[in-house]
Amino acid sequence: MDQHKPSLRNNKTAKTILRIIGFIFTIGGLVCVIIAFIDFFTKAVDMNGSMPTKFYLFFIGFPCLFIGVVCLSLGFMKAVSSYVASEQAPIAKDVNNYMLDGTRDETVKTVKSCSDAIKGNASSESAGVVCPKCGVKNEPGAKFCDHCGEPLTKTCSNCGEVNDIDSTYCRKCGKKL
């Protein structure tokens, strides 16, 4: 926890204070608004010409309600977010599995090649090796063709280095293959 900024720490005291203030302001705001509504509508229905006397409670109640709801939102944010995430994650997983059904292997290969390209590891080997004899594309790192069994690498007779099949010179010692 020490490596995090103080504002990112799990502060139970702050959550408790926000929750208490939130409940107080929300309940106080609701009481003010309800009293103001009752006064307003009872005087309006009377039609005796009397004016509402507690109209000012709207101007106290609504800001108190706003402050209370904001404090409650902040105080219960982690609990609500955790609940929402636990409800949505299985659905998102099911949707992804449904959409990827039948294309999972191709998707994994695409993501891996994109990841290699981003990391700078992209090479002819990560893209797969094409057999010079039959033209079939093989898995990255394959030593022999999956289709015809032809070797997909050349070994240098001078130093023993394994080179790509289309190499003319050894990448380690420079001798012609």
The pLDDT assigned to 92 comes to: 83
Burial label, 119 (beta-carbon count in 10 A; 0-12, 13-18, 19+): exposed
Q: Is residue 157's pLDDT more than 60?
A: yes
Domain boundaries, the chain: 10-95
User: Identity (one letter) of the amino acid at 115?
Assistant: S
Let me know: does 171 contact 160? Beta carbons within 8 Å.
no
Task: Copy the structure tokens of residue 73.
Answer: 């939102």
Backbone angles phi, psi at 152, to 5 degrees: -105, 5
Span 48-90, pLDDT tens digits: 667 788 889 999 999 999 999 999 999 999 888 888 888 888 8
Residues 92-145 pLDDT 10s: 888 877 777 767 677 777 777 777 667 655 444 446 778 888 888 888 878 888
pLDDT in tens, 21-51: 999 999 999 999 999 999 888 876 666 667 7
Structure tokens at 173: 């010692």
Q: Which residues contact 7 (CB under 8 A, 6 or more apart)?
A: none
Instruction: Let me know: does 24 contact 68? Beta carbons within 8 Å.
Output: yes
